[in-house]
Amino acid sequence: MFNWMLPEKHAVAILKKDHDTVKELFEKFEKTNSSAEKERIIAKALEELKLHAAIEEEIFYPAVRKHVGKDLMNEADEEHHVAKVLIAELDANAAPDHRDAKFTVLAENVRHHIKEEENEMLPKAKELDMDFEALGQKMLDRKKALKRTGIPEDAEHAMVAKANGKGDSPAAAARRRPSATHRPAKKALGGAAKKPARAHASK
């Protein structure tokens, strides 16, 4: 864990602390075999990630976007979007048989995103001449308010709800054909015409 020697309420220190919190949760998830513990970790991580994404998107990103530049910022936006789709699917308990895998992929995506923020975005943002502690206070206040009122549903949650479970096609396909690879091959008798496989029936 590196230390940028920043005041506690510096906006970058707040984000860094959030990053450490979720990384610890990901490690705990990987170490436990208990389903109940995994569910507790997933619930905590999703809440932390939603609050973190909200303060970044509403407050931090707009404040540093121009200085950091659109390439890095657009990439961060898209990484948030992908993470939020997975978060929405975990919230909806889409593909319950793929739940651990879904959370593992979310963790991998978020770890990658954190690395890019800490190695590129945040050092660049820190060059800005602004009151980072005032910005940090604003972020902490917003987080507190969101904890009190609840986090409003985002576009990704609406998108996943609209798909009604059909948005997770590889998981659904695996569920429909669990033993496809183990089924003994049927011999065609007397050259009878075979029905085409319905591989893409649900698309």
Residue sitting closest to Fe ion (CB): 56
Q: How many CB atoms lie within 10 A of CB 71?
A: 9
Buried b (16+ CB within 10 A) or exposed e, 34-70: eeeebeebbeebbeebbbbbbbbeebbbebbbeebee
Residues 54-73 that bind Fe ion (CB under 5 A): 56
Residues 10-49 that bind Fe ion (CB under 5 A): none
CA atoms within 13 A on the CB side of 106: 28
Q: Please, which residue, 56 or 168, has the CB nearer to Fe ion?
A: 56
CB 110, min distance to Fe ion, A: 8
Q: Please, which residue, 154 or 168, has the CB nearer to Fe ion?
A: 154
Nearest to 143 by CA among 4, 6, 11, 1: 11
CB 76, min distance to Fe ion, A: 6
How far is 203 from 141, CA to CA, in rounded Å?
Answer: 45
CB 5, min distance to Fe ion, A: 22
Nearest to 48 by CA among 71, 15, 2: 15
Instruction: Considering only the stretches 50-58, 62-70, 98-106, 151-159, report the one whose residues sit in contact with Fe ion under the rule CB under 5 A.
Output: 50-58
Q: Please, which residue, 42 or 76, has the CB nearer to Fe ion?
A: 76
CA 81 to chain centre: 8
CB 2, min distance to Fe ion, A: 17
**Through-space distance between the first and last CA atoms of the chain, rounded to whole angstroms:** 45
Instruction: Considering only the stretches 53-61, 132-140, 149-157, 184-192, report the one whose residues sit in contact with Fe ion under the rule CB under 5 A.
Output: 53-61
CB 173, min distance to Fe ion, A: 31
The residues binding Fe ion (CB under 5 A) are 56
